[in-house]
Amino acid sequence: MKPGEHFDLSGHVALVTGGSRGLGKEMVFGFADAGADVIVVSRKLEACRAVADEATTTTGRRALPVACHVGKWDEIDRLVETAYSEFDKVDILVNNAGMSPLYPDPASVTEDLYDKVFAVNLKGPFRLTALVGTRMAEGDGGSIINVSSAGSLSPQASIIPYASAKAGLNAMTMGFAKAFGPKVRVNCIIPGAFMTDVTKHWDLESFEKSARANFALGRGGDPAEIVGTALYFASDASSYTTGALLVVDGGGR
């Protein structure tokens, strides 16, 4: 195979949670551009439909919008049944949906907030990986990509529950790689600061000053810059890579 052919996803089906915006949306378009049909998943159906329609219009690939709250197991079960009834298979699963609510101090974190953060960032990916990974292992195999956070490696006081859940996702990646190998590869992208819609809550002037001083690349990431890493893990280019945690943070560590 020529180098570029390793990244060809023609004939593949990719399911991306949190696929209606941010890094997930970029991955949806990246996979569709590489030839995959895509399943766009988030809580809001209209947002999923908008991305799916755009993906089909711009790439010609089939795109299915599905509303699902990944923190709820019964909805995940329905999502999996819908995906397999529509496409008969899932070759690529991306656990990208996440949430990190703000709080003034650790003692202010309520049980409800704590449970929601772990449900979306860890419990949901566990269930979805368990269901889809089992089918992949029983079929022709596949690739599962978890999307963690640089905060899982260097937690700040303002993201303790989120960082803890994402650290669990890192561990889960390695465990599932062993559970579903050799036919299924399970890897993890650990993004740093990407300039998604989340940045509207940031003090951008302070962030940019800090990035120039502390990041090797001197800036936050453009969301489209996640696509190369996602294509690597999704495709045959990473055929001998599993259980890996790949940090993509512009040298911000």
- Report if residue 60 sits inside a domain: yes
- Report if residue 195 sits inside a domain: yes
- Report if residue 204 sits inside a domain: yes
- Report if residue 3 sits inside a domain: no
Mean pLDDT of 11-40: 98
Reported confidence tier of residue 47, pLDDT bands at 50, 70, 90: very high
Residue 226 backbone phi and psi in degrees, to 5: -85, -20
| 90: pLDDT strictly greater than 90 | yes
- Residues 203-252 have pLDDT tens digits of 888 888 988 999 999 999 999 999 999 999 999 999 999 999 999 999 98
Mean pLDDT of 76-100: 97
Q: Is the peptide bond before 182 cis (omega within 30 degrees of 0)?
A: yes
Task: Report, as residue numbers or ranges, the catalytic residues.
Answer: 162
> For the residues of 50-84, what is the DSSP string, one character each?
HHHHHHHHHH---EEEEE--TT-HHHHHHHHHHHH
Q: Which helix (H) or strand (E) holds 63?
A: strand 63-67
- Report if residue 154 sits inside a domain: yes
- Report if residue 1 sits inside a domain: no
Strand partners, 186: 144
**What is the tally of structural domains in the chain?**
1
pLDDT at 191: 97
CATH of residue 215's domain is 3.40.50.720
Q: Which domain holds residue 64?
A: 11-248
- Report if residue 72 sits inside a domain: yes
- Report if residue 2 sits inside a domain: no
CB neighbours of 183 closer than 8 A, spacing ≥ 6?
136, 137, 140, 141, 142
| 152: pLDDT strictly greater than 80 | yes
Task: Output the pTM of the full model.
Answer: 0.96
